[in-house]
Amino acid sequence: MDYATLTPIQKAAIALVSFGPEVSALVLKGMKESDLERLTLEIANLRDVPSEIEEKVMEECSEIFTAREYISQGGIDFARTVLEKAVGAGRAKDILHRLESSIRATGFSLLKDIDPKQLGGFLQNEHPQTISLILTQLPALQAASVLAEFSPELQAEVSLRIATMEKIAPEILREIETTLEGHFAQAGVGEMSASGGTKAIAEILNLLDSTAEKNILQSLEAEDPDLAAAIKNLMFVFDDIILLDDRSVQRLLKEVETKDLSLALKAASEEVKAKIFINVSERVASMIKEEMEFMGPTRLTDVESAQSRIVEAVRRLEEEGQIIIAGRGKEEIIV
C-alpha cells in the first residue's frame, strides 16, 4: 500500500477505522446514502494498514480539521495566513486546495462579511418574507444589527414573519441564495434549511436596543397578542433571573407571592436559588426553604406555571423601567 496512490475514499476509510467505532458511527450517521455505501464498502475491503500510512492519513485529517477551524474563525485569508506561518506557504496551499470544493462561499455565507448598514440598505426594498428568510440564515447578532437598519414598520413586519415561519423548502432557499450570489459573488450553491419561529425572533430581539425591541413587540401585540406573549417568555426565562442586579431582584420579590417563589424554586438551578437567597433576609430564606420541603413531590406543570408568573412580573417591571436585565448581548445605559 502506497500513500501517494491512495484515493480520498480510501483515506476516509482508514481515518474512520483509526477513529474507532463510536466516532465513526457519528460521522457515518450524517452522510448521504450513496456516500455511506461507498465508504462502508471501502472499510470492509481494508486489510492491514501499515502504521506509517495510518499516521500520514491522521496527520492529513488533523491539518484539514485545523484549516476548517481557521476558516470558520476568520475566513480563507485568515486560514491561509495562519497555515503559512505554521507549515509554510507550499504546504498551506496544498491543504487549502484539498478543501477548495467545500470552502467556497455560498450566497448566505457571503453575507457574514458585509457591513450591516450596507446589507440593510440592500435588503430594505425586498419583500418582507424574503428578508425574514435571509435573516434566519444569519447569526442572531448580525441579524439584529441588520434589523435595526429598517424602519419600525418593516422591523415589525419582518419580526412577525420570522416568528410565524415554518420549515422552508430547500429549493426556495436555493433560489434566494442564487440571487444573492449574483449580487455578491460567483459561487456554488450548498444545501440549506431554514427554521424561524418564536425562538429565532426572540434571540434576535434580545440583541436589539430597547427602543427597537419595544416598538416591534408593541406591533406584534397589536397583530397577535398570544404570539407576542410567547416571544416575550422566550426572551426572558426563569433561569435568567441571574441576569438581574441585586436591586432588581429585591424589587421583583416585592411583586411575587412567597408560595409562588417557593414553588418556582423547586426546579430552579443552584445559581438561581443563590441569587434569590442572597437578596432576602435569613428569616425569609428559611421560610422559603421550609415551604419547599413541606411541599413534597410537586407536578412539574405547577412549578412551570409559578415560574411563568414570575417571568411575567419581570417583563412588566422591565417595561415600566423599574428593573434592569443585563448580560443578554446588548449594552444597558444606566444613569
Number of Cα atoms under 13 Å in the Cβ half of residue 181: 16
Instruction: Note the pTM of the prediction, 2 decimals.
Output: 0.39
* Domains of the chain with bracketed CATH: 3-103 (no CATH), 109-213 (1.10.220.30), 236-335 (1.10.220.30)
Q: Which residues pair with 244 in a beta bridge?
A: 325
Q: Which residues contact 141 (CB under 8 A, 6 or more apart)?
A: 207, 329
pLDDT by 10s per residue, the chain, length 335: 677 777 877 888 888 778 776 776 776 666 666 666 676 667 766 667 788 888 888 887 777 777 767 665 555 666 677 767 777 787 777 766 665 544 444 556 667 667 788 888 888 888 898 898 888 878 777 888 889 889 989 999 999 988 888 777 767 777 777 777 666 654 333 333 444 567 767 777 766 666 677 778 788 888 888 888 778 777 777 888 888 989 999 999 999 998 899 999 988 889 999 999 999 999 999 999 998 888 888 888 888 888 888 988 887 888 788 887 765 444 443 43
Distance CA 111, CA 134 (A): 9
What is the separation of C-alpha 309 from the centre of its chain, rounded to a whole number of angstroms?
27
- C-alpha grid cell, residue 133: 428568510
**Maximum alpha-carbon separation in the chain:** 77
CA angle 102/20/9 to nearest 5° reads 40
Q: Give the DSSP H/E element, type plus range, for residue 169.
A: none
Please report, as a single letter, which amino acid is at residue 147. Answer: L
- E strands along the chain, which residues? none
| DSSP characters over 72-114 | HHHHHHHHHHHHHHHH-HHHHHHHHHHTHHHHSPPTTGGGGGS
Q: Which residues contact 25 (CB under 8 A, 6 or more apart)?
A: none
Q: How far is CA 297 from CA 60, 157, 222, 292, 293, in A?
A: 55, 45, 40, 10, 9
Q: Scanning the structure block, which residue is given the C-alpha cell 476558516?
A: 71
